[in-house]
């Protein structure tokens, strides 16, 4: 499996070069399918969907769009061959929860492991996040690492300052 997970897509030459390296051939010799589904769950999604499609059209030999919300209502033979033939699957940004829901609801989530044996997955923002193992945040791990404050760590700092709010060294 080959993944290129980005926050803003193919936004500079080094990311583009990384994509070409993963593809193993020039972009203009590759087929790509873009999934813009996540953008529709944002207030500006309908207007921004064209921007997602345009931004990810990098000059592919073939380029198409697949809307996950439509998949449960159409036969697989209408969309699965395009995914199987694609060199690259581009999954756009937007609302991560919405995208995750429709990946599962559409059945594409279950098919991704097999599809990605030969296809490069490019995630943009939400498209990158759904490719991770889990979106769950372990607050205990973050607290142990000192990345977030916990009620205990706040009490400890207050106790060190004393009841007046001044540090122990500033009291007389």
Q: Could you give all domains of the chain from N- to C-terminal order, each with its CATH number? A: 2-129 (3.40.50.880), 139-163 (no CATH)
**pLDDT tens, 112-169?**
999 999 999 999 999 999 998 765 555 666 567 665 555 654 455 555 556 555 544 4
- The confidence score (pLDDT) of residue 171 equals 42
Q: Report the range of poorest mean pLDDT among 12-21, 45-54, 91-100, 132-141.
A: 132-141
* Report field, pTM of the whole predicted structure over 0.75: yes
- The confidence score (pLDDT) of residue 144 equals 72
Helices (H) and strands (E) in the chain, counts: 8, 5
Contact 15, 4 (CB under 8 A): yes
Give the pair of three-digit tokens for residue 89: 């699957």
- The confidence score (pLDDT) of residue 132 equals 84
User: Model confidence at 76, in pLDDT bands (50, 70, 90)?
Assistant: very high
Question: Which regions of 20-157 does DSSP assign to beta strands (E)?
Answer: 31-35, 62-65, 88-91, 120-124
- The confidence score (pLDDT) of residue 134 equals 64
């Amino acid at each position: 499996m080959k993944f290129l997970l980005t926050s803003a897509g193919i936004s500079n030459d080094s990311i583009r070069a990384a994509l070409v390296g993963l593809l193993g051939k020039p972009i203009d010799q590759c087929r790509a399918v873009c999934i813009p589904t996540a953008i529709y769950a944002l207030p500006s999604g309908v207007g921004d969907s064209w921007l997602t499609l345009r931004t990810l059209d990098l000059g592919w030999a073939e380029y198409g769009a697949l809307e996950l919300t439509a998949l449960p209502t159409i036969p697989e033979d209408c969309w699965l061959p395009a995914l199987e033939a694609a060199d690259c699957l581009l999954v756009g940004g937007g609302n991560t929860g919405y995208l995750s829901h429709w990946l599962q609801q559409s059945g594409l989530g279950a098919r991704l492991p097999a599809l990605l044996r030969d296809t490069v997955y490019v995630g943009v923002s939400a498209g990158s996040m759904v490719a991770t193992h889990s979106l769950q945040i372990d607050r205990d791990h973050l607290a142990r690492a000192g990345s977030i404050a916990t009620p205990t760590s706040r009490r400890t700092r207050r106790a060190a300052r004393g009841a007046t709010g001044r540090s122990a060294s500033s009291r007389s």
